[in-house]
């Protein structure tokens, strides 16, 4: 219980790293408590006055963010052991989960650390290039009405379109490692998203060929951690199953064609 006149505080324990090949270390910061804070607003306070709980002046903590409303996916980090978006991670809820204990912030472990909580997610975007993550067109002139989609197709593709390339699914995935080739659930979901579009399906075979390579959909261990941590509720396990069936059909076509 807080005594009369006593200022309630929040304690953040942050894993820091000065550069990619440097040794990580921990620093603890203490901030005045206010209602309705999120983790990003607390990091902003620490950056404004980077003094540790012990009173030692230090460098501002580095993190990545952009939209601050769970759209861009840039601010993903591990908070109290769970990967999530720091813009939508509410301090009151975190304190309730920890019983008022420290809030622990760490960078994602499946991507190279640039500095502190900021990681390099280039691998995700390169994987989107590998699967031709776009709808091909033959120019920017007026092409007329687009293809019609059923309500069922619209519902599926809308769910897949919500992916913001945040990396939560990959951080939680036991098959996706810092030094392996697994393409990951987010890219598999986007392959299905474009394959399900009547124009995007022009490149479906190329996408499926990538999915049949080492590191493709067959490397998925079906742990289903990805769908549990996805902040946008993207139907990732459904996408993995559908792409798995599509690659199986393509493999049969290769077999009977003698390729």
- What total number of domains does the chain contain? 2
Q: Is the dihedral of CA 135, 139, 145, 147 positive or negative?
A: negative
Residue 1 has pLDDT above 60, yes or no: no
Q: Do 13 and 113 reside in the same domain of the chain?
A: yes
Q: Do 158 and 82 reside in the same domain of the chain?
A: no
Q: Do 113 and 24 reside in the same domain of the chain?
A: yes
Residue 111 lies in a domain: yes
Contacts of 188 (CB under 8 A, 6+ apart): 211, 217, 220, 236, 239, 240, 243
Q: Do 17 and 32 reside in the same domain of the chain?
A: yes
Which of 80, 103, 85 has the alpha carbon at shortest distance from 31? 103
Percent of the chain with pLDDT over 90: 87
Q: Which domain holds residue 192?
A: 122-135+149-256
Q: Do 175 and 204 reside in the same domain of the chain?
A: yes
Q: Do 31 and 99 reside in the same domain of the chain?
A: yes
Residue 81 lies in a domain: yes
Dihedral angle at the C-alpha atoms of 50, 52, 57, 59, nearest 10 degrees?
Answer: -50
Residue 4 lies in a domain: no
Residue 47 lies in a domain: yes
List, for residues 212-250, the tens digit of each pLDDT value: 999 999 999 999 999 999 999 999 999 999 999 999 999
Q: Do 98 and 167 reside in the same domain of the chain?
A: no
Which of 250, 247, 212 has the alpha carbon at shortest distance from 130? 212
Q: Do 158 and 105 reside in the same domain of the chain?
A: no
Q: Pairing between strand 118-119 and 113-115?
A: antiparallel
Residue 143 lies in a domain: no
Look at residue 145 in the predicted model and tell me its pLDDT.
Answer: 82
We report the CATH number of the domain holding residue 106 as: 3.10.20.30
List, for residues 47-86, the tens digit of each pLDDT value: 999 999 999 999 999 999 999 999 999 999 999 999 999 9
Task: Report how far apart, in Å, the C-alpha atoms of 216 and of each of 63, 122, 126, 204 are.
Answer: 30, 18, 14, 15
Reported as a pLDDT band with limits 50, 70 and 90, residue 4 is: very low
Q: Do 131 and 79 reside in the same domain of the chain?
A: no
State residue 113 phi and psi, 5-degree precision.
-80, 130
Look at residue 6 in the predicted model and tell me its pLDDT.
Answer: 52
């Amino acid at each position: 219980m807080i005594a009369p006149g006593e200022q309630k505080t929040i304690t953040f324990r942050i894993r820091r790293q000065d550069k990619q090949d440097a040794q990580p270390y921990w620093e603890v910061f203490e901030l005045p408590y206010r209602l309705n804070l999120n983790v990003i607003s607390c990091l902003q306070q620490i950056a404004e006055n980077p003094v540790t709980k012990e009173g030692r002046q230090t460098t501002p903590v580095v993190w990545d963010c952009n939209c601050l409303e769970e759209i861009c996916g840039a601010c993903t980090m591990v908070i109290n052991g769970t990967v999530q978006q720091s813009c939508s991670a509410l301090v009151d809820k975190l304190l309730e989960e920890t019983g008022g204990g420290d809030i622990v912030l760490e960078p994602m472990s499946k991507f190279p650390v640039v500095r502190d909580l900021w990681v390099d997610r280039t691998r995700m975007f390169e994987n989107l290039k590998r699967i031709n993550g776009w709808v091909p067109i033959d120019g920017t002139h007026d092409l007329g009405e687009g293809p019609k989609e059923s309500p069922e197709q619209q519902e599926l593709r809308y769910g897949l379109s919500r992916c913001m390339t945040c990396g939560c699914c990959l951080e939680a995935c036991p098959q996706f490692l810092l030094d392996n080739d697994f393409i990951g659930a987010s890219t598999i979901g986007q392959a299905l998203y474009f394959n399900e579009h009547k124009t995007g399906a022009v490149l479906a075979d190329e996408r499926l060929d990538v999915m049949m390579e080492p590191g493709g959909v067959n490397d998925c261990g079906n742990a289903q951690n990805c769908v549990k941590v996805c902040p946008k509720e993207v139907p990732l396990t459904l996408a993995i199953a559908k792409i798995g069936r599509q690659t199986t059909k393509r493999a049969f076509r290769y077999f009977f064609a003698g390729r």
